Amino acid sequence: KLGLARTLQGDAAGAIQALQRARSLAPDNVEILNNLGVALSELRLHGEAAEAYAEAHRLAPDATVLAFNHADALALDGRPGEAHALLQSTSFPPQEMERAASLAARMEAIHDASKAACSTPPEDAPPAPRASRSPLDDRILKATIARCH
């Protein structure tokens, strides 16, 4: 609980330390792993957050919140293709299907845009069309393109 409290107080680094200690005592505790992912995301350590969420989701495959958290972390780490694949391979309950399908479609579109941008040298790449992208989608696309250049 200390790790979550520190995250909520804005002390993500302190939260990570507390959660890593807690994890050493209870490595299969899904709540600890999820909270660790949240704290890592707060510090924009999205790759490490994705690992924590992946482990939590492996331990609790029916917890759809973990699939969404994992997909978000993958996307923000510049891996929308992996996020899309995760969402496509996860069984969601009926009440979550629309949200999952919408997010999967966004990840697929960002992945496709990044593939086009990554196949061109950065100085020659045209700007990606902005028509239906959100600021978060722009952030994901920039992180994805940064991984290839």
Lookup: tokens for 92 = 């969601």
Alpha helices in the chain (DSSP H): 2-8, 12-25, 30-42, 46-59, 64-76, 80-89, 94-118, 135-148
Confidence (pTM): 0.82
Residue-level pLDDT at 138: 80
Instruction: Render pLDDT for 97-140 as a digit per residue (tens, 0 to 9).
Output: 999 999 898 888 888 888 877 877 666 655 555 545 677 778 78
Quick one: 95 exposed, middle or buried, by C-beta within 10 A (0-12, 13-18, 19+)? Answer: exposed
Q: Please give, one letter per residue, the 3-state secondary structure of 81-123.
A: HHHHHHHHHCCCCHHHHHHHHHHHHHHHHHHHHHHHHHCCCCC
